[in-house]
Amino acid sequence: MFDWFKNLFLPDTSPDITQSLIVILLTIGLGVFAGRLKIKRVSLGVSAVMFVGIALGHFGYTIEADISTFIRDLGLILFVYAIGIQVGPSFFSSFRKEGIRFNILSVSTVLLGGLIAFILYKVANIGIENVVGLMSGSVTNTPGLGAAKASLNEIQTQFPDRIFADPAVAYAITYPLGVLGVILMIILSKLVLRIDLNHELQLLTTEKEQEQSLLIRKKCRVSHPDIFGKSIYHILKANNLNDLIITRIKHSKSKEVFSPTLDTKLNERDVVMVVGLPASVEQFMSIIGKESQDQEIESENDIVTKTIFVTRKSASHKKLSELDLFNKFGLKVTRVYRSGMELLASPSLELFYGDRLRVVGTKDDIAEVEKIIGNSEKRLLEPDFLSLFGGLVIGIIIGSIPIMIPSLPVPVKLGFAAGPLLAALLISRYGGLGVIHSYINNGAIYFMKDLGICLFFASVGLHAGTHFYENFVANIFTL
Report d(CA 130, CA 146) in Å as an integer: 14
Tell whether the model's pLDDT for residue 209 goes beyond 70.
no
pLDDT in the model for residue 296: 72
pLDDT at position 468: 66
pLDDT band (50, 70, 90) for residue 479: very low
Q: What is the largest CA-CA distance in the chain?
A: 95
User: Is CATH 3.40.50.620 the right assignment for the domain spanning 213-379?
Assistant: no
- Rounded alpha-carbon distances, angstroms, from residue 7 to 2, 20, 64: 9, 11, 14
Rounded CA gap, 420 and 139, in Å? 21
Segment 270-299 mean pLDDT: 83
Rg of the Cα trace of the chain?
A: 29
**pLDDT tens track for 306-359:** 888 888 877 877 888 888 777 777 777 878 887 667 777 777 788 888 888 888
The domains of the chain are located at: 3-202+384-478, 213-379
Question: Alpha carbon of 48 to those of 29, 33, 453, 470: distances in Å?
Answer: 10, 8, 11, 22
Strand order in the sheet with 304-309: 304-309, 356-361, 332-338, 341-344
Per-residue pLDDT band for 478 (boundaries 50, 70, 90) equals: very low
pLDDT at 105 over 50: yes
If one compares 247 and 329, the residue with the highest pLDDT of the two is 247
pLDDT for the residue 63? 85
DSSP code of residue 258: E
Residue 28 CA to residue 50 CA, distance in Å, equals 9
| 3-state SS class at 294 | coil
Higher pLDDT, 175 or 53: 53
d(CA 212, CA 36): 32
End-to-end Cα spacing for the chain = 49
This prediction's pTM = 0.71
Rounded to whole angstroms, the Cα distance separating 167 from 50 reads 15
Q: Can you tell me the mean pLDDT for 384-410?
A: 81
pLDDT at residue 54, rounded to an integer: 84
User: Using an 8 Å Cβ cutoff, are 49 and 31 in contact?
Assistant: yes
Average pLDDT of the segment spanning 118-142: 79
Average pLDDT over residues 379-394: 82
Mutual orientation of helices 17-36 and 48-58 as an angle, nearest 10°?
130
Q: Residue 473 — very low, low, confident or very high, per pLDDT cuts 50/70/90?
A: low
The Cα 121–Cα 104 span in angstroms is 25
Instruction: At 33, give phi and psi (nearest 5°).
Output: -65, -45
Helix (H) or strand (E) holding 219: strand 216-222
- Report the pLDDT averaged over residues 385-401: 86
Please report, as a single letter, which amino acid is at residue 298: E
Across the strands, what pairs with 272? 220, 249
Decide: 150 and 403 in contact? Cβ < 8 Å: no
Write the pLDDT tens digit of every residue in 450-468: 899 899 888 888 887 776 6
CA 259 to chain centre: 36
Of 172, 235, 245, the closest CA to residue 459 belongs to 172
